[in-house]
A and B are shown apart, each in its own frame.
Chain A
């Protein structure tokens, strides 16, 4: 069975601090996809990134960066110079995939990390 663990339930930082959200996953599949979503107070989940299991390159998008390490089954998310608008719940998710590399589309979510950025 697939499992995603976000060990940090809540994180509180002061604006401009860097913060890393941890994500550890379990799967028997060799091909899979990992995601991060942001849930602001409005409730709607916003897609941040998708990464497939064959691409271990780190990715940077503005103040956001992601570190994918298959050896430790981790897909951590770092926000550099955090801002108040980053306050939200962040979810890591995992999707299995068939042998062809496409995905079955069903996501398994972690418990979420509540990030609060104080001014």
Chain B
């Protein structure tokens, strides 16, 4: 079945460390997105990519980095510069950036800084 796979489901990080969250899709979607979810704040866009080797900052990109070397993969790195990284991170994809039939979401990664 086609879908989005995020791994790991739970991740613990020590302060000062970088950590990378994985997102893989087999839907042949061009566009991919990373959102952060905090209680009471809904989902906020971190980065998005509409094509391989291209990505754009979203509303809260500071302290994060991404890459899009393959169409299927859009990993997110949470760097030590991110001041409050503990959150639930959701990856999503859509057919492309201009055809809006909604997103397909992964099941998320819960990151906790210890």
- Which residues from chain B contact A55 at a C-beta distance below 8 Å? none
Rounded to whole angstroms, the CA-CA distance of A115 and B98 in the bound complex is: 32
Kindly state the interface size class of chain A when it binds its partner.
20 to 34
- Nearest CB on A from B21, distance (A): 13
Is there a chain B Cβ closer than 8 Å to A65's Cβ? Answer: no
Chain B residues contacting A107 (CB-CB under 8 Å) are 43, 45, 103
Q: Given A9-B40, A44-B107, A47-B103, check contact A106 B45 (CB 8 Å).
A: yes
| B94 within 8 Å of A (CB atoms) | yes
Chain A residue contacts of B98, Cβ below 8 A: 98, 102-105
CA distance A98 to B35 in the complex (A): 22
Interface residues of A, Cβ cutoff 8 Å to B: 4, 6, 9, 33, 35, 37, 42-47, 50, 91, 95, 97-98, 102-107, 109-112
Interface string of B49-85 (1 = CB under 8 A from A): 0100000001000000000000000000000000000
Kindly state whether residue B87 has any CB partner on chain A within 8 Å. no
The CA of A111 and the CA of B40, in the complex, are separated in Å by: 6
